[in-house]
Amino acid sequence: MNIECSQEKLKEAISYVDHIANKHITLPVLSCVLLDASVKNSLTIKATNLDLGIEISIPVKTLETGIVAVPSHILNSFLVNALGETVSLKLADGNLQVKTVHNSAIIKTQTYDDFPSIPRVSGGNAFLLNAMDFVKGLKSVWYSSSVSSIKPELSSVYVYCDGEFVVFAATDSFRLAEKRVKLKKNKDFGQILIPYKNIPDIMRVLESLNDEVSVTLDKNQISFDHKGVYLVSRVIDGVFPDYKQIIPKSSTTEVVLLKQDFANALKISNIFSDKFNQINIKVNQNQKKCEVRTKNNDVGENVSVLDAAITGEGIDINFNYKYIVDCLQSVDSDSLTLSFAGLNKPMIIFPVSDTTFRYLVMPMNR
């Protein structure tokens, strides 16, 4: 191998694949990035952790074709700190020689024969979707997934079509987030479960595209393809809970307040919350006030009184602070609604004048 290319393009590509390459005791080659320059004037950069695979192709000047596997973090760290507009990559004596105008390095290579092939998804459902819309859907809900893999269907994001919308949902059984993103063209692709641990890398890559991507999915995998970037993820074979049946059909109390006021009250409450992160929300219908209370026997207690528009009856109910604060990142409007259906029933949070997002939190027992 002997090629020359833009350092900026190579550095950007390696930064994306470096997040996916990981240290693997039994398969050391998985910590490598595969540099495939077997096609003239093109370099394909590959990485996989067996759950997620990526290929990025960039233009290069080919002096000699070849393939090499090098430790991803070593090459990435060098490119981040090296100076120069052009970089050359040359295989010499079994090692990779990397040069810029001011820096040079020799990186030990590994046998690339053991590098796993990155599967191509074909023959399944295929459609076009705006990358940023897909990212917004994932970002709005993925934090609600379970971090435990005991129930794989809960440690995932559920994606399905509902008329003109793509719906994203996630739950860990204590809270649930749902986001609806409108499709430019209706396409019923069924339903999929994307593993929670793959979501950050999927979002990171798709955010860089900012355009329509070709999405293809089958029973086992989903892929994203756009202008030299190909990303494929395993999907979970399971059944997501029928979450719609636990969403209250009506409310007994609704509280409309400013998102920032509520966020500030939650931050203060966290200072005084106990080891269970318990906070108390008390709605006083007569005084048109919403109180957020916390108490810790070792620290003290606090009360934040918020101005609110209240309809329905008063309520006094406890929740986990962390479960509530997580969803505020998904609320785009300045105001939000807290909807209650009574004691021992979940609270629903949704933005005012926005029906595309809703968040359900189960109450805590006293």
> Does residue 255 fall inside a structural domain?
yes
If you average pLDDT over residues 340-358, what whole number do you get? 94
Beta-ladder partners of 365: none
Structural domains of the chain, count: 3
If you average pLDDT over residues 99-105, what whole number do you get? 96
CA distance 56 to 227: 9
CA distance 88 to 78: 13
The parent domain of residue 204 ranges over 125-244
Do 68 and 19 belong together in one domain?
Answer: yes
pLDDT exceeds cutoff 70 at 25: no
Do 139 and 165 belong together in one domain?
Answer: yes
Residue 186, pLDDT score: 62
Give the end of a domain, one of 114, 139, 167: 114
Give the end of a domain, one of 185, 210, 244: 244
Per-residue model confidence as pLDDT tens digits over 144-185 = 999 998 899 999 999 998 888 999 999 999 999 999 998 776
pLDDT exceeds cutoff 90 at 126: no
Residue 182, pLDDT score: 86
Do 30 and 74 belong together in one domain?
Answer: yes
Per-residue model confidence as pLDDT tens digits over 280-296 = 999 988 888 999 999 99
Residues 6+ apart with CB under 8 A from 160: 166, 167, 190, 191, 192
In the structure encoding, which two tokens stand for residue 57, read together?
């192709």
> Does residue 119 fall inside a structural domain?
no
Per-residue model confidence as pLDDT tens digits over 184-223 = 766 677 889 999 999 999 999 999 988 899 999 888 999 9
Do 171 and 266 belong together in one domain?
Answer: no
Contact 135, 206 (CB under 8 A): yes
CA distance 183 to 162: 10
> Does residue 36 fall inside a structural domain?
yes
Residue 57, pLDDT score: 97
Beta-ladder partners of 55: 46, 230
Helices 199-209 and 131-141 meet at what angle, rounded to 10?
Answer: 150
Do 82 and 104 belong together in one domain?
Answer: yes
Residues 6+ apart with CB under 8 A from 71: 31, 32, 33, 107, 108, 110
pLDDT exceeds cutoff 70 at 24: yes
Do 182 and 292 belong together in one domain?
Answer: no
CATH code, 103: 3.10.150.10
Do 286 and 195 belong together in one domain?
Answer: no
Q: What percent of the chain has pLDDT over 90?
A: 84
Q: Is 84 left (phi over 0), alpha (psi -120 to 50) or beta?
A: left
Give the end of a domain, one of 114, 148, 176: 114
If you average pLDDT over residues 16-45, what whole number do you get? 91
Residue 366, pLDDT score: 58
Q: Is 353 left (phi over 0), alpha (psi -120 to 50) or beta?
A: left
CA distance 140 to 80: 31
pLDDT exceeds cutoff 70 at 245: yes
Range with top average pLDDT, 23-32, 257-266, 283-292 = 257-266
Residues 6+ apart with CB under 8 A from 53: 20, 46, 47, 116, 118, 119, 231, 232, 233
Residues 6+ apart with CB under 8 A from 36: 43, 44, 45, 46, 67
